[in-house]
């Protein structure tokens, strides 16, 4: 079978150059993180499997032309950015290329800081005024937190027998994150209106809950997000029923929910 026939039916094709594969994969990953998307979310938007997106980002394959077009639409980037093509490559010195590469790898908040810094330095340079960074707005401190690869069901339970790979999300450091050990993605509607399907809950690892606390529980191999009361695990959405673990059930508290990721926590 010819190479073109082998490649025509898939979403990805083998890449001849190892460095090209790696570069393309890193560009996709960085653009995804800047957009605030997880791999599963990007895979869903692309209409493909998580393994396909992982294969791109790990440099095993690269996207075909149709996939590149869709990636550009979702991630708001150009095809040149995905493929790592720069028209200025031959005109830049090695030092300039390194600075440009470092800039492109920054999250949007860091880019804004660098752009403001350069703009201020340029303006003051033209006026022959010594530059001082005191007038530049301080960069927000970022914290990187792991996202549990297993969603916790805000319903009747979510089978924890299979999970994915752990990813990390950068958030703007604030008081709400001080007690947070990891993020857990909510699946289902039983905890509305406090938590909606797809929300990222802030979870502190502990087995000690007080009456009324929201916790993450594992009951007979199923994970769930519920309000703890002495007589059972309660939903906030009255359309769902109370769960009362049987006397000999395998049951434990995984952690206490201390909040959820808000828009203000996301780097701009």
Q: Of 80 and 123, which is predicted with more confidence?
A: 80
Angle at 263 between CA 259 and CA 266, to 5 degrees: 95
Angle at 254 between CA 252 and CA 257, to 5 degrees: 130
Which of 83, 109, 127 corresponds to the end of one domain?
A: 83
Which of 83, 118, 152 corresponds to the end of one domain?
A: 83
Which of 83, 99, 128 corresponds to the end of one domain?
A: 83
Are residues 251 and 158 part of one domain?
yes
Q: pLDDT tens-digit profile of 15-52?
A: 445 666 678 888 899 889 998 999 999 999 999 999 88
The yes-or-no verdict on residue 235 having pLDDT over 70 is yes
Are residues 259 and 149 part of one domain?
yes
Q: Which domain holds residue 79?
A: 3-83
Q: What per-residue confidence (pLDDT) applies to 23?
A: 82
Q: Is the pTM of this model over 0.75?
A: no
Are residues 167 and 75 part of one domain?
no
Number of domains in the chain: 2
What is the rounded distance in angstroms from the CA atom of residue 56 to the CA atom of residue 63? 7
User: What is the pLDDT confidence band of residue 158, given thresholds at 50, 70 and 90?
Assistant: very low
> Over the chain, what is the mean pLDDT?
79
Cis amide leading into 107 (omega within 30)? no
Looking at the domain assignment, is residue 103 inside a domain?
no
Other C-beta atoms lying within 10 Å of the C-beta of residue 215: 23
CA distances from 53 to 26, 41, 150, 229, 252 (A): 12, 10, 18, 41, 34
User: What is the pLDDT confidence band of residue 7, given thresholds at 50, 70 and 90?
Assistant: very low
Are residues 161 and 58 part of one domain?
no
Are residues 254 and 154 part of one domain?
yes
Looking at the domain assignment, is residue 108 inside a domain?
no
Are residues 154 and 78 part of one domain?
no
User: What is the pLDDT confidence band of residue 147, given thresholds at 50, 70 and 90?
Assistant: confident
Looking at the domain assignment, is residue 21 inside a domain?
yes
Looking at the domain assignment, is residue 98 inside a domain?
no
- Pair 189, 197: CB distance under 8 Å: yes
Among candidate residues 266, 74, 104, 44, the one with its CA nearest the CA of residue 171: 266
Count CA atoms within 13 Å of residue 203 on its CB side. 25
Looking at the domain assignment, is residue 131 inside a domain?
no
Looking at the domain assignment, is residue 242 inside a domain?
yes
What is the rounded distance in angstroms from the CA atom of residue 159 to the CA atom of residue 176? 29
The yes-or-no verdict on residue 2 having pLDDT over 60 is no
Burial class (CB in 10 A: 0-12, 13-18, 19+), 50: middle
Helix 50-57 to helix 18-35 angle (10° resolution) is 120
Are residues 71 and 176 part of one domain?
no
Are residues 248 and 172 part of one domain?
yes
- Pair 120, 136: CB distance under 8 Å: yes
Q: What does the pLDDT average to over 140-167?
A: 64
Looking at the domain assignment, is residue 183 inside a domain?
yes
Are residues 152 and 250 part of one domain?
yes
- Pair 226, 210: CB distance under 8 Å: no
Are residues 162 and 252 part of one domain?
yes
The yes-or-no verdict on residue 259 having pLDDT over 80 is yes
Rg (alpha carbons) of the chain, rounded to whole number: 23
User: What is the pLDDT confidence band of residue 161, given thresholds at 50, 70 and 90?
Assistant: very low
Looking at the domain assignment, is residue 119 inside a domain?
no
Give me 17's structure tokens: 């150059």
Q: pLDDT tens-digit profile of 112-132?
A: 777 777 776 666 666 555 555
- Which domain CATH number covers 62? 1.10.260.40
Task: Check the CA dihedral 240-226-253-36 and report its sign.
Answer: positive
- Which domain CATH number covers 175? 2.10.109.10
Are residues 147 and 71 part of one domain?
no
């Amino acid at each position: 079978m010819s190479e073109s026939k082998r490649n025509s039916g898939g979403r990805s094709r083998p890449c001849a150059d190892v460095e090209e594969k790696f570069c393309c994969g890193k560009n996709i990953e960085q653009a995804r993180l800047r957009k605030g998307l997880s791999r599963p979310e990007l895979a869903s938007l692309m209409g493909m499997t998580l393994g396909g997106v992982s294969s791109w980002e790990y440099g095993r394959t690269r996207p075909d032309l149709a996939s590149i077009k869709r990636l550009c639409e979702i991630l708001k980037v150009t095809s040149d950015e995905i493929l790592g093509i720069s028209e200025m490559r031959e005109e830049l010195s090695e030092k300039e290329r390194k600075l440009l590469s470092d800039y492109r790898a920054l999250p949007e908040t860091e880019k804004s800081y660098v752009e403001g810094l350069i703009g201020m330095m340029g303006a003051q340079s033209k006026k022959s005024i010594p530059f001082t960074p005191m007038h530049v707005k301080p960069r927000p401190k970022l914290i990187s937190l792991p996202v549990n690869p297993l969603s916790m069901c805000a319903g009747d339970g979510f089978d924890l027998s299979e999970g994915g790979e752990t990813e990390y999300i950068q958030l703007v450091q604030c008081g709400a994150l001080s007690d947070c050990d990891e993020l857990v993605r909510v699946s289902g509607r039983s905890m509305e209106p406090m938590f909606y399907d797809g929300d990222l809950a802030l979870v502190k690892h502990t087995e000690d809950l007080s009456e009324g606390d929201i916790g993450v529980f594992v009951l007979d191999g199923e994970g769930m997000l519920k309000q703890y009361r002495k007589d059972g695990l309660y939903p906030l959405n009255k359309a769902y029923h109370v769960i009362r673990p049987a006397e000999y059930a395998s049951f434990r508290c995984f952690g206490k929910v201390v909040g959820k990721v808000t828009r203000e926590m996301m780097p701009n």
